[in-house]
Chains A and B, each alone.
Chain A
């Protein structure tokens, strides 16, 4: 086993610099050195080119409305011109988009980017308290809101300590809001600036594409800052690999608060294709959505395929028009791929892997009916091979590379490595490290993989920490424990994933030492966590099992659920 001979301070030097740049927005070029070649092509350049080439083709179907490239460009430019008109609200170079699966949501994302800012997606289906924390931590001073998110706007503004520019493209009369909130500035549909006033912004090396909040182990979500050049690098490979054309029609199964949504939008728009957004119910039962929208490109978490199979929606030959099917976000069961392949006989099927910190996806594996079952382990499809330019190491706890065939933590580096955690130098330094004997900065994925022998694919074996996947959502058990601890008064709280499914966990259950009023606790926890993180059950025990070191024994606690459930 290789020993670490470099002091920890050295390991963290580069990453500290990296995180520091967010504190002063100095536009450091550190990542150029770390990653080699970079691109300053704006993320939105592909959309504008497509709008030029195919102005009348559909760019988007959302809320049952079809929006052409020219229409979407026009609305996005009007939003951008409005943001540019008020530069005093762009000090953090971020704009929040508080909109959900509506044309305004997509125009808001584009408008934000056209204005030279990165977007911060907010989600009205999340608890309001969590949305407020995300908005506060981002320090956004501008905000785009759609009609259906409007009822939650007051809650957001109540916690705003500084003046905010609120753009409401779906609202004609903003005077009631102006009367209620004299401190803030409101722009309604009629007051948006003309598209002709939009000025193309200059893109810096580290100009942000988006800031996405993920589950954090200390109880508060952490913001991952992804640069436009990270996403452009990803896009270049994806559009070529899948030979995307203006005839393609993409699914949009992911909320914008899930970074996989960026694939659907930007890969489609890069080549003039259409993004099709299902309704909330169609997300659960998407068979007619796939057919009615003539989808050619499918991208979802594997759980959607598992669910569709269970509902009888994966009959052989059902989706002949699909030509590319991609799965990402959680382990992909072999049985799901096989069922999907029968249902979509003309489609290639690929398993994508990647944490938000490495921009959407950074390894992939193409399913091959002849070969892949043998390459899979424990019924799970391999995560495959790194994207071009991305490189990896498989290391032990002391950051020494493990021999081929052994397992360890996956570290990755390359042009898709994000800038780090927003305004959090310590977390950035802990996760973005310099490995002894190497100069490049690597991101610690926290994922356990097997180091391949020769040309074999990477195999994902689980997590090295307490992070789990609940139906595709990344969940830090520590965050749930922190929230429960705060409300129950007991220090001994253990969250476990249960039940185990073929691709992760179906939900979370919590064990608490001592007795607490169950009903109030659940309500309190529900007010702070999104639904997929809210414990399905609370188990109260006089004493929780501990290991010889006095630490709560997660394994024993977790095993106590097996066989005891209904």
Chain B
């Protein structure tokens, strides 16, 4: 189990998206903006989201309870990273 700041989660997310894009033959993404929606921008699809959530939990070495996160913000970079960080701090 680790604690991580919102920025550290974002760094992990950036790396994850980069690796998936390269592996999938997609364009390399630039810096992920706070309001970037991973789903609507096409960086991941709804199926890929399952993989992403697993990867985040594996990286943080613990299960994360996403219940309190607004579904509209689930795939938006800033709110997602802040939420994960808050969940880790709360443990």
A residues with a Cβ closer than 8 A to B are 279-289, 303, 306-307, 310-313, 315, 470-471, 506-507, 518-519, 521-522, 531-532, 536-538, 566
> In the complex the two chains form, is B26's CB within 8 Å of A281's CB?
no
Contact A310 B54 (CB under 8 A): yes
Closest residue of A by beta carbon distance from B42: A531
Name B's interface SS.
loop
Q: Do residues B47 and A470 form an inter-chain contact, with CB atoms below 8 A? A: yes
Residues of B that sit less than 8 Å from A by CB = 19, 23-27, 39, 45-47, 49-51, 53-54, 57, 63-67, 69-72, 74-75
Contact A312:B47 (CB < 8 A) given known A279-B71, A281-B71, A281-B75: no
**Contact among B50, B65, B74 for A312, CB-based, below 8 A:** B65
Supply 12 A–B pairs (Cβ within 8 Å), ascending by A.
A281-B39, A282-B71, A284-B49, A285-B66, A286-B71, A287-B67, A312-B65, A506-B51, A519-B25, A521-B25, A522-B24, A536-B23
B69 to chain A, nearest CB (A): 7
Cβ–Cβ < 8 Å partners of A279 in chain B: 71-72
Residue of A nearest to B54 (CB): A310
Contact of B49 with A312 in the complex, beta carbons under 8 Å = no
Q: Smallest Cβ distance from B22 to chain A, in angstroms?
A: 10
CB of A342 to closest CB in B, whole Å: 15
Closest CB pairs A-B (n = 10)? A312-B65, A522-B25, A285-B71, A311-B66, A518-B25, A281-B71, A531-B45, A282-B71, A281-B72, A285-B74
Please state if A506 and B65 are interface contacts (CB–CB under 8 Å). Answer: no
Say whether B50 contacts A310, CB under 8 Å. yes
Report yes or no: A506 in contact with B24, Cβ–Cβ below 8 A: no
In the complex, the answer to whether A532 meets B47 with C-beta atoms within 8 Å is: yes
Among the interface residues B39, B46, B63, B75, which one has the most CB atoms of the partner chain A within 10 A? B46
Counting chain B CB atoms within 10 Å of each CB, which of A285, A288, A532 scores highest? A285
B47 touches A313 (CB 8 A): no
Which residue of chain A is the closest to B55 with respect to CB atoms?
A566
Residue from B25, B51, B53 with most neighbouring chain A CB atoms (10 Å): B25
The chain B residue with its CB closest to the CB of A518 is B25
- When distances are taken between beta carbons in the complex, the residues of chain B under 8 Å from A538 are 25
* A519–B23 alpha-carbon span in the complex (Å): 10
Hey, which chain B residues are within 8 Å of A306, CB to CB?
A: 50
